[in-house]
Structure 1
Amino acid sequence: MLAAPDVRFATAGDAVAIAELSRDAIEYGLPGAGRWRGCAARSHRPTPIIIVVDGAGAIDAFGIMAYTDDDAHLLLFAVRAAARRRGLGSAMLGWLETVARAAGASRIRVEARRDNAGARSFYSEHGYHELAILPRNYSGLVDGVRLEKWLRDAA
């Protein structure tokens, strides 16, 4: 387990590294994977937060969260393979959940690849529940799973 990571807001200079990590950890096997324009399109939704954690010479993790009304949507979230299983993802997700609560979000929604058992297990271990299978959600080729976590009562 790592000590609490130093989370910082992403800069324009992080764009390529974020796109490469997205390609390797989320978009593997999909056409056009790793293009910053996909990340950028996601990041232009209302009030996004883009955070990163630096590693040795590279970004070890990033997350992009958008807020609308009283919901938060974790648009992209990845940890470099070599940095996994040390608590980095848990620490970052906790940071993002704290910010979502402070912003007044009732819940956080996220999608994961259906074939990514590690991501699905990670979210489940952090209190996220699978709601639906999303056929061909990734580039029209790979099914996704929609998950959510309620931060406060729905009522």
Structure 2
Amino acid sequence: MKEALVIDQIDISLAVPSDAGAIAQLSRDAIEHGLSWRWTARRVARSIRDSETNVVIARRGSEFLGFAILKYEDDDSHLLLMAVAPAHRRKGVASAMLGWLETTVQAGGWATIELEVRSRNEDAIAFYRHHGFDEAGLYPGYYEGVEDARRMVKAMRKLVT
């Protein structure tokens, strides 16, 4: 189990089942707005228990700042969700969580981190570009037919050819 990482009083650690409700609520409000609510507390709790998934939370003291969910696949990892509470955005919380996950991905030897982001979410796209992600495609109607997704990928290790 990975120990918590503290950056500027931001504690990053693995989520526990009692965190599922707060994670699900932030997902609904920050990510799934305008869509069906798929990441319910029950689904988040399943991800927390899944040995092939890391669900991390960011806290300052007892205050919940944000979360990220990363699924490990054969050679790649997939960032399923990441959100920061509105009052804590642009303060390094997402960067701290992404750094924690990248360290884990590198230690495990996965080749890439992949993700999808709403194509109209220019702030998120700029964030991921800033952190070394490249655009790798467009999925028309990915979000319930109402919005396209941009696929983004970051190479985490050099592939041997």
TM-score, normalisation: structure 1: 0.88
Q: Please give the alpha-carbon distance, in whole angstroms, between the structure 2 residues aligned to 1:137 and 1:60.
A: 28
Q: Please give the alpha-carbon distance, in whole angstroms, between the structure 2 residues aligned to 1:44 and 1:143.
A: 30
Partner of 2:120: 115
Structure 1 gap segments, 5+ residues each:
none
Partner of 1:80: 85
Are 1:68 and 2:66 an aligned pair? no
Q: Please give the alpha-carbon distance, in whole angstroms, between the structure 2 residues aligned to 1:82 and 1:33.
A: 24
Q: Please give the alpha-carbon distance, in whole angstroms, between the structure 1 residues aligned to 2:102 and 2:80.
A: 13
Asked if the contact 1:135/1:142 (under 8 Å) is kept, the reply is yes
Q: Cα distance, 1:106 vs. partner?
A: 1.0
Q: Please give the alpha-carbon distance, in whole angstroms, between the structure 1 residues aligned to 2:158 and 2:137.
A: 21
Q: Please give the alpha-carbon distance, in whole angstroms, between the structure 1 residues aligned to 2:105 and 2:158.
A: 14
Structure 2 gap segments, 5+ residues each:
1-6
Measured on the aligned residues, the alpha-carbon RMSD in Å equals 2.1
Asked if the contact 2:133/2:152 (under 8 Å) is kept, the reply is yes
- The alignment partner of 1:6 has SS state of strand
Q: Which moved more, 1:92-101 or 1:69-78?
A: 69-78
AA at the equivalent of 2:140: P
Q: Please give the alpha-carbon distance, in whole angstroms, between the structure 2 residues aligned to 1:23 and 1:154.
A: 37
Partner of 1:35: 40
Q: Please give the alpha-carbon distance, in whole angstroms, between the structure 1 residues aligned to 2:70 and 2:38.
A: 20
Number of aligned residue pairs: give it.
Answer: 154
TM-score, normalisation: structure 2: 0.85
